[in-house]
Amino acid sequence: EDKVVQSPLSLVVHEGDTVTLNCSYEVTNFRSLLWYKQEKKAPTFLFMLTSSGIEKKSGRLSSILDKKELSSILNITATQTGDSAIYLCAVESMSGSARQLTFGSGTQLTVLP
Amino acid sequence: GAGVSQSPSNKVTEKGKDVELRCDPISGHTALYWYRQRLGQGLEFLIYFQGNSAPDKSGLPSDRFSAERTGESVSTLTIQRTQQEDSAVYLCASSLVWGRGELFFGEGSRLTVL
């Protein structure tokens, strides 16, 4: 059974701090790893990673995949209160001809002013 | 529409009743997914539709759950004889083509079973 584990489960920091969120996975037929930010109900897409070692960057957020270690990290620098959210990691895999997306439980990030 | 639309946004029902949740994906998106998110937990895959192919129902938790999709448009998720453990937010997502990783999510339907 495919498994995605995120750590830490929750994190409280102050504005300006840098945070690193972790995602590890065990899946067969890996295709890609995705990061989402969930503030209220609907997760919004952040990054999709398919190749190991290539950093994706968007403003203060960046992410990188390590296929050897079966993991990914999401970095947020100079955090702001608006970064407070649940960050979800999902891994896309193939089961036969069916595409499957397995989500982790998320990391709850709280950024205090 | 501009985004994925779900209705109702909130539904309170009594144990044993049937409920129907609706999802209207982004126009032109061929893939549609249903997920369930219980309080404090991650997203749990329920079912996946891709174009006119047979849906992947592997995530449906019991035979009380069913889903339909007409072509590449609206989908309905039906829960029969609801139980208290069915209480959750039911999220629908769509993507442009099969194999693309970027899912666009709706705001979800919060179901409370009393």
Rg (CA), chain B: 13
Select the more confidently predicted residue: A96 or A112: A112
pLDDT tops 60 at residue B1: no
pLDDT over 70 (residue B99): no
In the prediction, which pLDDT does A72 show?
97
Higher pLDDT, B6 or B48: B6
Q: What is the DSSP letter of A82?
A: G
Using CA atoms, how far apart are residues B114 and A99, in angstroms rounded to an integer?
A: 35
Query: How far is residue B17's CA from residue A49's CA, in Å, rounded to a whole number?
Result: 42
- pLDDT-based confidence at B100, cuts 50/70/90? low
Chain B partners within 8 Å of A40 (Cβ): 107
Nearest to A42 among B41, B45, B105 (CB): B105
pLDDT at residue A50 greater than cutoff 80: yes
Q: B34-39: list long-range contacts, CB under 8 Å, 24+ apart.
A: B34/B67, B34/B75, B34/B77, B34/B90, B34/B91, B34/B92, B35/A103, B35/B90, B35/B91, B35/B92, B35/B93, B36/B61, B36/B88, B36/B89, B36/B90, B36/B91, B37/B88, B37/B89, B37/B90, B37/B91, B37/B108, B38/B87, B38/B88, B39/B88
- Cα distance from A30 to chain B (closest Cα, Å)? 12
When pLDDT is averaged across residues B7-21 and rounded to a whole number, the result is: 96
| Least confident range of A46-60, B49-63, B90-104 | B90-104
Output the pLDDT for position B18: 97
- pLDDT tens track for B59-82: 888 999 999 998 778 999 999 999
Position B44, amino acid: E
Helix (H, G, I), strand (E, B) or coil at A29: coil
Q: How many CB atoms lie within 10 A of CB B84?
A: 9
Q: How confident is the model at residue A26 (pLDDT cuts 50, 70, 90)?
A: very high
Mutation for testing the B interface, residue in A29, A36, A41, A50 having most B CBs under 10 Å: A41
Q: What is the pLDDT of residue B49?
A: 87
**What is the per-residue pLDDT for B114?**
95
Say yes or no for a CB contact (<8 Å) between B45 and A43: no
Contacts of B108 in chain A (CB under 8 A): 41-42
Judged by a CB distance cut-off of 8 A, whether residue A8 touches chain B is no
**Identity of the amino acid at B73:** S
Residues B36-57: tens digit of each pLDDT: 988 767 788 898 888 777 787 8
**What are the pLDDT digits (tens) for A66-83?**
999 999 999 999 999 999
For the record, the structure tokens of A96 come out as: 């036969």
A79–chain B nearest CA distance, Å: 23
Contact B45 A100 (CB under 8 A): yes
Confidence (pLDDT) at B42: 74
pLDDT of residue B89: 92
Q: Taking all residues of chain A, what is their mean pLDDT, rounded to a whole number?
A: 91
Chain A residues touching B50 at Cβ < 8 A: 99
Q: How confident is the model at residue B101 (pLDDT cuts 50, 70, 90)?
A: low
- Average pLDDT over all residues of chain B: 88
